[in-house]
Structures are given as C-alpha cells and as structure tokens.
Structure 1
Amino acid sequence: MAAGCCTAHPVTQDHLGAALSSAGTTVTAANHAAGLSVGQAAEILVVGIIATGNPAAPLAEAMAISGGAIIGIGALKDVEGLVDSSTKTVKPEGVVVPGLIEPHMHIWTSLLNLTWTDVSHEVCATFDDVVAAIKASAAQTPAGQFVYAKLFDPSLYPGEPDLTLDILDAACPNNPVVVMNASMHYLYANSAAFAAAGVTYDTPDPAGGNFGRSNGKFTGVIGEAPAMMMMLGAMPKPTPAQIGAGILEILNECAKQGVTSLREGATGSLAGVSEVAMLHQLNSAKRLPVRVSTAQFAIMQGKTPEQVAQTWKDAGVTPFSGDEMVRADAWKVVADGSNQGRSGYFMQPYLGEDNGGHGDWTPEGLRGAIRAGLNDGWQINVHTNGDAAVEMALEAMEEILPGSANADLRHSFVHFSVTTDDQLARTAKAGISATFLMNHVLYWGAAFRDTILGPERANRLDRVASALKAGINVSLHSDYNVSKVHPLLSAQTAVLRRLQADGSILNAAECATPAQALAAITRDAAWQIHADDRGSLEVGKRADYAVLDSNPWTSDPESWDKIVVNETYIDGTLAFQA
C-alpha cells in the first residue's frame, strides 16, 4: 500500500521515462474485435449458475454468446433457439459473474518498484516483521548486490518508527539496502547503499532534498526527490521489453482478481503520448488480458494544461479514441496529495501539526486545468482527498459545468475521501460521481482516527452510504499500487467498514448494503468509465465475465475477500485461468 498516488514521482520519471519514450508517439489501434460479427446463432453456450449483476433478473442458467456479445440469457429453454450444431457448450466449474471493473489504478507509476520486496503493513503486521522481511530478502541476495523493498508505511505502526541506518546495517551487513516509504517522499538506506551511491557525510544536500544526519552520522532517512534520485542513480534502468513485461504482469494480476476492465488513472504522467502508444503496441502483439481505459494527465513537463491538451490532440488521442481494448476517455487533474502522507488538503490542521496540507493548484489554476480538458470533450476526473481539496474542486466544477456543452460526461471525483454533508449535496446537484478508495478505511482507518485526523474527520472518511443517499453514483477502486487490486475486498470493506488494526467499525452509518457494494464494482463502475456495454450480463452487452468459486450476491460479505477467481473471459474468450 503506497500513500502517494496520481502524481508522477520525479524518481519514477527519471528511471522509466527513456524506456517508455522509446515507444514513440504514433498511436495505432489493433481493433481485434473488428473481425467479430454478431449472428443469430450462438458460437458459445455457457451453462451453469450465472449471477447476472442485473437486479431485474439476478440469476440465469444459460448464456448464449455470438461475436463476443451476449445474444441470449436466462433459463436454458429460453436460449435453446439460439443454438445450432456449431455451438460450443461450456459448463464452468463455479459461478459465472460479470467481469469486475477497476475504475482507478496506476500502471505507469507502479512499474518503478514492481519487483521489490513488499514490506507494506498488509504483508508485515509489525515493525519487526518489516525488518525480518528485509533481512530474509538479503539472505537470498548475493553479497554486494542491492536489496530493494517498497511500501513501508511508518504511520501504521506504533510510534511511527523509521528504518534507521543502524537497523538496516544490523539486518543486512553484506548488502546495500534501499527501502522506499509508501508515500514515495522518503527512502531508507544502510551504510553500504550510501557508499554505493558515492554519498558521504560531507556530501551537501541537493536543493529540495536531504540526507538525514544526527550526531555526526547518517540517520539512514533520505528525504524528497532530489536526494532520492542521488541514492537511486546507479540503479539499472529497464529496457522497453522489461517495461512491457511489467505492464503485462500488472494486467495479468488484475485479470487474476476477476477484473475485465480498468481505468489507468494518470496516463502520460511519465512519458506523455508514448504511454498510450506502448499500450496499443502491446495489444497489437497480443490482446491484453484486461480492457484498459486511460485518463490523460493534465500535466507534462514545461507545458501549460492547454498545451498538454493540444499535444494529446495532435497525436490523435481524443475522447473515446482507440479500440475495444485500449481507449482514451478521461482527463485527470490532481487537486491535492495523500491524507496518510499528510499532504492532503484540509480545512483544519492535521493532529499535532499547524498545517492542513496544501492544494496542488491555485483555485484559478485548477479551473484552467479543468477547462483545458472539458473544452476538448473529455470526462473530467479530479483527485480530491482532503475536505479543502473537495471544496476547491467542487467550487471549480460548480462554476465551469453550468452552460458547458460537455457538462454531462459523467465527471467524477477520485477518492473523495473526507467530505461534509454540504459537499455531498452539492456534488450530487452538480451531477458529479465519485469513486472511493475503501482500503483507506481498512488499512489506515485507525491511523486516521488516532494520529492523523482525529475521530470526527475519520468518521467522514469514504462516505459511501451518504453519497448514495445524496444521489451520487459511486464506484470503488484500489488506487494500485496504493493497495492491491481486489474489488471484492473493496466491496467487503464498503459493507463492513471494519478496521484491520483493531477490528472496530468506523462509522457504521456509512456501511453500504451488499447490493450497493457489488454494483459499485460492476455495473455502476462500468457506467462511470463509459463502459455501458459491460458491468452486467444482459443481452446486447459484451461477454466479459469471471468464474468464481462462490456467488457474492448470495454469500455473506464476511467471505468475499476469500472468494477465488477460477477464470476470466473477455468477449467470451479466456483471458485468465488459475
């Protein structure tokens, strides 16, 4: 679980930019589905237990597929007329459900440390477990070679402990070690890592960064991008082939969780148009295991948002361009930072501090960034974490949307983490939807309550029930690699709101119903990313589905996180098999 998200880190840009840029800026769609045609007879007949995700007809026993689309679904007798001698009948071992939708995650910013040892709180329940995991990784690494670890989050451990130089020296005496903080604002390193980077005690701090020092020695804590880049400068940079393999690894992990469609939440943040070009190149070589929608980032180095919009347009990346597997359909603007990283923008200070974070734009700058995308017909996605960021973004949208020809494009607030009743009512009135990172509640809820925000603001975290009551369309997301892609876990947390730290419930009044939570990872999430042909199993929709070992629509939400995905299909063809 990382605390930073949605904004490209300079370290990531430095490390991955060249390999990504090698893809060029020519965007050519593969159009795999161009050869598919829907006929009157089924090519595939799926027979078994089918949970359709359609409240009007929740269960079926047969589904007829032609040209990748559903041409019949219901009782077996209802679809028999669609079967002929060429129809292939399949009987999945499990329950057929709609392909799950991941409406906000990150491919590009997750590639930097994809293969590093995971020392997140999800994996390491105690600080001692973190140290043990790093030590175990070193034991499997030849002496002198680097040990890398990721997602260490001190805010989730008592006393918020640092991985000091002394701790890492003792754990890994024979290897240089670098550990990245989940916020990506800090690294932790041992003496061998400093030596390998050529950084001595006398090395001056670069502008905007620092090498922690105390009592004549390094603390082991390296702060901010300029210093972090010096520490990681010698790390081998990946080849384009390695980048491509990393992207496919991420997408395959999504398919493994039953996901058939996702939205990449900040495309272009590292290498501009080349990121879209690379996705299409990979899809041309072999159909991707998951459909990818891209949210074009409003920032490129040295360009105004208006110039960025023109860059996308010049490359032919326009609203809903692409094909059925890779499609550009949103414009991404980031209003603030991370609440657990204490850079989210709040109306009141963080506990024990004298500031409440900051906005990433001035109010007028935010309006300009939003207009640049809206004027070109993009759906607007605004990252909002703190309540002050929500207010700033809401005021901007309330001013800009009325009278706009593009006002009704299912614009959304991403995270929408801490909100007031007034903000919920106004968001609904403005016609803006929301997507919630429920793992904020599961993993960080106790830290928000006890050490970061306090009980009152923590109770206003991820208000799914209140948002729905206000009339806001909602979805749930992982923000990968902030947390792992696991839609059924997100849905479970939306229903239970149980904290991992102590098992308590964070504001039971905000618990969603099971039906609401499942809709938020299927048909409502599909609606939000303009995937109206997905999200439920109905006639006319794509045959995107997963085969699970249990039916979440009829099982106890307590078990949802343990449901196993056996297979995932796109257009009725296999995308993943356990």
Structure 2
Amino acid sequence: MGRIATGDPHSPVAEAMAVSGGRIVGLGSVDELDGLTGPSTTRLAPDGVVIPGLIEPHAHVWVSLLTLDWTDVSHAACPRIDDVVAALRAAAAATAPGQYVLAKLFDPSLYPGEPALTRDILDRVASDRPLVVLNASMHFAYANSAALAAAGITDASPQPAGGTLEKVDGRLTGIVGESPAVMMLLAPLPHPSADDIARGIRQVLTEFAGRGVTSMREAMSGTLAGVSEVAMLHRLNGAARLPVRVSTAQFSALPGCATPAEVAAMWKAAGVTPFSGDEMVRADAWKIVADGSNQGRSGYFLQPYLGETSGGHANWTPEGLREVMRAGLDDGWQLMVHTNGDAAVEFALEAAEELLPARDGDLRHRFEHASVTTDDQLTRMAAAGVSPSFLMDHVYYWGAAFRDTILGEARAARLDRLASAYRAGLRPSIHSDYNVTIVHPLRSARTAVLRRLDADGSVLAPDERVSPAEALAAITTHAAWQIHADDRGMLRPGMRADFAVVDADPWTADPEGWAEIGAQETYIDGVAAFSG
C-alpha cells in the first residue's frame, strides 16, 4: 500500500498492510505480505501516507446540525462587535416577517469589554420577529423580546433548575444560561424534518472524515430529539453506512423528567443501554454537566473571576450531583462529567472518590475539558480511575483572554494541562467540542505541542507543552481507549482497518505544519468511507 505510519511506537512504519474481514492481518514489506494475497485480492496504492484513523472523543452532532444554516457571528467572521450587529441586521433583512432570525458562535470574551447582546440591543436589530443568538460555548443564548415571548419566558418566569434567566431589577435581560434555560428558549423553533436531520448528520460527519477522523463520541445525545436520537443514527447507518463510527453519550437531563432516575428509565425503555448497538453506532456513556463556560464566566472556580466577586457556580447541589452520578453508575454507564473550573473539578472529584470505589468494571470514567486543574486534582483523578479529555484549542483561541481579562496569569497557566496529566500517570485525550471549535485533530495536537496563542503568538505555560508523540497519542490511542475502542487508533495486526490517507506523516513531520496536513480518503474496516 505504499508508505504507512502505524502509530505503533514498536513498529512505526510499514511498506504494506493486509486486511481481511475488516481487520489488519499483516503489516510489513511487500515481500513479507505476498503470501496473504490471492486472485481475489483488492490492491490499493493511495497517493499519500496511510495513518491510523483519528479519534474525536468529544463533539456535538445534534446541536450542531440544528445550527448548520444559522448566521455565523463568530469572532473570525465578525472581528468587531459592530460587525456582529451588522451581520444580524443583514440576516434580519433577509428573513421573512414572523420567522426566526438565528445566529451562532458569538463570543463576547474575544471583544474588548466583553459586550453582551442584550434584548434591548437585539430589539433594535429586529423588533417584529424572534431573534436568537447562540454563544460559541453553547452554554448561553441571547434573545430579543419577541423570542422570549415566543418561548413563554416572562419577567415572572421562575429560574429553571440548573439554568439561568438573567434579570436586572426583575426584568429579563435576554441572556439565558445553561442547557435547561437555553432549551426553554429554543423549544418553539421548528424541528428539522427527517430528511434535514439525515442531510445534516451526514454533512457534519463528512466534515469530520475530511479531517481524517474515523471514530467520534457524540457528547450529549438526546438534546434535540430526545431518546429517539440513537435509533435515528442506527436507521441512517442502515440506509447507507455513516462516514464515521459514532459512540454516544446519553444526556442525563431531559425535558419532562423530574429526576435523573426518570431520565435513566427513559433511555432504558428506548433500548439504549450501556454498550448496546453495533460496530458503527454504539451507546457508551452517561453525560453530566457540572458547571458552565469559563469564557462565559459560568465555569465554577475556587477563586473569583478577574474584576468580579463570584467564581461562577455549580449546576448541581452536592446531593444532586451524587444522585445523577448514581443513576448512570447503577445502569453500568461510563460517566462523562463536564468540569470546566477548578472548583467544578473538585466538586466532581469528591463525588467520584466517594462513589467509584464501590463499583466494579473498567468503565474509564472521564472528566470533560478539566480546563483548570491543580496538581493534587490530577493525582487524585488517576487514583480514582478518571481520565481527562481536554479542549486543547481553549489555549489557542481563548488563552490570551483567560490570561488578561478572565482568570489572570497564574490560573491561565493551569489551562489544559496535558503535560501534567501525563506526569500524573493519566491517559488524556484532546477534543474539539465541535462546534465550539472546528474538528481538526492535527491542529489541536499542534496546540498541545506549541501552546501558542492565536491572539498574540505568545506561548502559554511552556512547561505544559508535550512531545509530538504524546500529542498524537491523545488523538489516536488514548482517545480510542477513552471511548472503549481498543481495536482502533493504531495500525497493528488484529486491529480494525480504520485508517486515513493524508499528505504527510505527522509522526515525522514538523508539528508546525500539522494543521496543513490534508486528508484525502478515510477507510472503515478497510472499505472506503470518505474521498475528498
């Protein structure tokens, strides 16, 4: 097959690879594998380098497909806050009266003064139709008066459990925070049709495959269509194989359920149980969101944010967090707990230390993002059997904001501590949190090696830089291990023949150029899944 980079440190390169029944049966020279070929053998000689299929261990397919066609008001698309308002005005002008104006990826932390989009500002953009803007973190949304009214949210509305309807002097500002409140705001939106869902899922997963990804974890299943989402994925795959294998994490808070036990019962009644499914779509985890967004100042910290008296808050009481964790553990799920601030890590870690020792099995529980941690917490995570998955491009995109305006230099230096996680004996992965950032594992791995900031080119916490091999393990073997896919992430006899054909070998190339390495094709079980 030409040049092959196996990702196996014991046998890093090969000239040829033999595949049978979807698995690798041989690796070596052409002469060594000659006996494995016959008259019916299909030979491939791709023009590029064959590497293990990359693993995306935390991304959001469902909420992302909901916003696929929304107006992009990200900092990249709108470098000034005036550009955001102009883009919203243009979107409103192009929208029929009475129809929603919808925009995504707004992030006030990247603008001077961290300006918010209040209802008063958005009412001036559009007063005759609902307007909703989703924050890049997906933890916040911004609404005009018409959108609040359409959702039945009034100044008298009580705060939803785990969410926030921001009010000043008893009046709604139009800013809502965390999933329960955001879901209230978005509830009146027309749900996409079955055809739109199918198109959107394939579009998103094809984008992933175009970056060399062959397996991914959908990090919060149930947010758009409830427990039916997993069945939809199976139906789509049955109609035509998906371009990427999907592992699902079932959300532990669903509308209409008063307790985590009721949510667990709904998933079970739908036939979604731990490790149910097949080789293309499998249910693996129980998703819990312990706090909010650091750049949105709702992540939970031990010390206040710069210029504030609050360090954010937890989304659960201590008793509530244990209840929701038990609901997942009792059914045998891997726990996947969103923890952004160091207080959220401590909050979840104390609960894990209490609950996990009595449980059996190698479930490989995870803390998602684990954005700001202490040495003690990483050591205790290793002892508790919890591994972190870092949103590595937090450093690239938001590192300067964390350092200068949100957390301060000392805490920013504790952001996404991949090197420290390795030193603590952990098996960390790195992820995109799509669509918080784009799926581009090799670029995220570059950030792990360089820790260079997009804003000013400086290096954040140079002692947290990792070796190229460690960064690549975090998007291959370690990420595969975290999603219970031990037969992927490396090319070795007995492993699945999931691989990508790329422009250059990242194991030997300068990490500076990893973001420019393009994926030409991907294969699942040795069968073409994507061609660029």
The TM-score normalised by the length of structure 2 is 0.90
Preserved contact between residue 119 and residue 174 of structure 2 (Cα < 8 Å): no
Give the whole-Å Cα distance in 2 for the aligned partners of 1:371 and 1:231: 29
Q: Are positions 1:148 and 2:102 aligned together?
A: yes
Preserved contact between residue 141 and residue 175 of structure 2 (Cα < 8 Å): yes
Displacement, 1:124? 3.3
Q: Are positions 1:428 and 2:382 aligned together?
A: yes
Preserved contact between residue 410 and residue 432 of structure 1 (Cα < 8 Å): yes
Sort the Cα spacing of 1:206 and 1:53 in 2 relative to 1 into closer, same or farther, 3 A.
Answer: same
Secondary structure of the residue aligned to 1:476 is: strand
Give deviations 1:326-375, integer Å, cap 9, x for gaps.
01111222211111111111111111111111112222222222222223
Sort the Cα spacing of 1:552 and 1:228 in 2 relative to 1 into closer, same or farther, 3 A.
Answer: closer
Give, as a single letter, the amino acid of the residue that structure 2 aligns with 1:113. T
Residue aligning to 1:35: none
Give, as a single letter, the amino acid of the residue that structure 2 aligns with 1:238. P
After superposition, where does 1:299-318 map in structure 2 within 5 Å?
Answer: 299-300=253-254, 301-318=256-273
Give the whole-Å Cα distance in 2 for the aligned partners of 1:523 and 1:123: 34
Given the alignment, which residue of 65, 77, 82 partners 1:111?
A: 65
Q: Are positions 1:78 and 2:32 aligned together?
A: yes
Residue aligning to 1:361: 316
Displacement, 1:474? 0.5
Displacement, 1:497? 0.8
Displacement, 1:427? 1.0
Q: Are positions 1:496 and 2:483 aligned together?
A: no
Sort the Cα spacing of 1:50 and 1:328 in 2 relative to 1 into closer, same or farther, 3 A.
Answer: same
Give deviations 1:525-555, integer Å, cap 9, x for gaps.
1011110111011111111111111111111
Q: Are positions 1:438 and 2:392 aligned together?
A: yes
After superposition, where does 1:54-93 map in structure 2 within 5 Å?
Answer: 54-93=8-47
After superposition, where does 1:458-469 map in structure 2 within 5 Å?
Answer: 458-469=412-423
Aligned residues: 520
Residue aligning to 1:157: 111
Sort the Cα spacing of 1:399 and 1:175 in 2 relative to 1 into closer, same or farther, 3 A.
Answer: closer
Give, as a single letter, the amino acid of the residue that structure 2 aligns with 1:500. D
Residue aligning to 1:574: 528
Q: Are positions 1:255 and 2:255 aligned together?
A: no
Give the whole-Å Cα distance in 1 for the aligned partners of 2:343 and 2:158: 29
Residue aligning to 2:162: none
Displacement, 1:127? 3.1
Given the alignment, which residue of 190, 200, 219 partners 1:265?
A: 219
For structure 2, the residue ranges without an aligned partner over 5 or more in a row are 160-164
Give, as a single letter, the amino acid of the residue that structure 2 aligns with 1:335. A
Give, as a single letter, the amino acid of the residue that structure 2 aligns with 1:280. H
Residue aligning to 1:222: 174
Q: Are positions 1:326 and 2:281 aligned together?
A: yes
Given the alignment, which residue of 487, 490, 493 partners 1:536?
A: 490
Give the whole-Å Cα distance in 2 for the aligned partners of 1:235 and 1:317: 27
Give deviations 1:11-69, integer Å, cap 9, x for gaps.
xxxxxxxxxxxxxxxxxxxxxxxxxxxxxxxxxxxx11111111111111111111111
Residue aligning to 1:10: none
Give, as a single letter, the amino acid of the residue that structure 2 aligns with 1:390. V
Secondary structure of the residue aligned to 2:421 is: helix
After superposition, where does 1:178-577 map in structure 2 within 5 Å?
Answer: 178-182=132-136, 183-187=138-142, 189=144, 206-208=157-159, 209=165, 222-224=174-176, 235-300=189-254, 301-406=256-361, 408-577=362-531
When structure 1 is superposed on structure 2, of 235-244 and 285-294 the one drifting more is 235-244
Displacement, 1:82? 0.4
Give, as a single letter, the amino acid of the residue that structure 2 aligns with 1:418. V
For structure 1, the residue ranges without an aligned partner over 5 or more in a row are 1-46
Preserved contact between residue 266 and residue 332 of structure 1 (Cα < 8 Å): yes
Give, as a single letter, the amino acid of the residue that structure 2 aligns with 1:354. T
Preserved contact between residue 139 and residue 182 of structure 2 (Cα < 8 Å): no
Secondary structure of the residue aligned to 1:251 is: helix
Sort the Cα spacing of 1:425 and 1:229 in 2 relative to 1 into closer, same or farther, 3 A.
Answer: closer
Secondary structure of the residue aligned to 2:283 is: strand
Displacement, 1:164? 6.8
Displacement, 1:312? 2.6
Give deviations 1:265-309, integer Å, cap 9, x for gaps.
122344432111111111111111110111122223324223333
Give the whole-Å Cα distance in 2 for the aligned partners of 1:83 and 1:258: 27
Sort the Cα spacing of 1:283 and 1:296 in 2 relative to 1 into closer, same or farther, 3 A.
Answer: same
Give the whole-Å Cα distance in 1 for the aligned partners of 2:506 and 2:514: 6
Sort the Cα spacing of 1:320 and 1:195 in 2 relative to 1 into closer, same or farther, 3 A.
Answer: closer
When structure 1 is superposed on structure 2, of 484-493 and 367-376 the one drifting more is 367-376
Identity across matched positions, percent: 63
Displacement, 1:230? 9.1
Sort the Cα spacing of 1:230 and 1:513 in 2 relative to 1 into closer, same or farther, 3 A.
Answer: closer
Displacement, 1:504? 0.9
Preserved contact between residue 110 and residue 398 of structure 2 (Cα < 8 Å): yes
Displacement, 1:135? 5.7
Sort the Cα spacing of 1:527 and 1:148 in 2 relative to 1 into closer, same or farther, 3 A.
Answer: same
Preserved contact between residue 495 and residue 513 of structure 1 (Cα < 8 Å): yes
Preserved contact between residue 290 and residue 348 of structure 2 (Cα < 8 Å): yes
Sort the Cα spacing of 1:210 and 1:524 in 2 relative to 1 into closer, same or farther, 3 A.
Answer: closer
Secondary structure of the residue aligned to 2:43 is: strand
Residue aligning to 1:6: none
Give, as a single letter, the amino acid of the residue that structure 1 aligns with 2:437. S
When structure 1 is superposed on structure 2, of 178-187 and 534-543 the one drifting more is 178-187
Secondary structure of the residue aligned to 2:15 is: strand
Give the whole-Å Cα distance in 2 for the aligned partners of 1:272 and 1:146: 23
Residue aligning to 1:4: none
Preserved contact between residue 118 and residue 174 of structure 2 (Cα < 8 Å): no
Secondary structure of the residue aligned to 2:324 is: helix
Give deviations 1:202-231, integer Å, cap 9, x for gaps.
x86644446989xxxx99x62227997898
Give, as a single letter, the amino acid of the residue that structure 2 aligns with 1:223. I
When structure 1 is superposed on structure 2, of 549-558 and 160-169 the one drifting more is 160-169
Give deviations 1:151-196, integer Å, cap 9, x for gaps.
111110112234578977898899986433334533255xxxx579
Sort the Cα spacing of 1:553 and 1:167 in 2 relative to 1 into closer, same or farther, 3 A.
Answer: same
Secondary structure of the residue aligned to 1:89 is: coil
Give the whole-Å Cα distance in 1 for the aligned partners of 2:485 and 2:337: 19
Give the whole-Å Cα distance in 1 for the aligned partners of 2:184 and 2:261: 33
The RMSD of aligned alpha carbons is 2.9
When structure 1 is superposed on structure 2, of 268-277 and 381-390 the one drifting more is 268-277
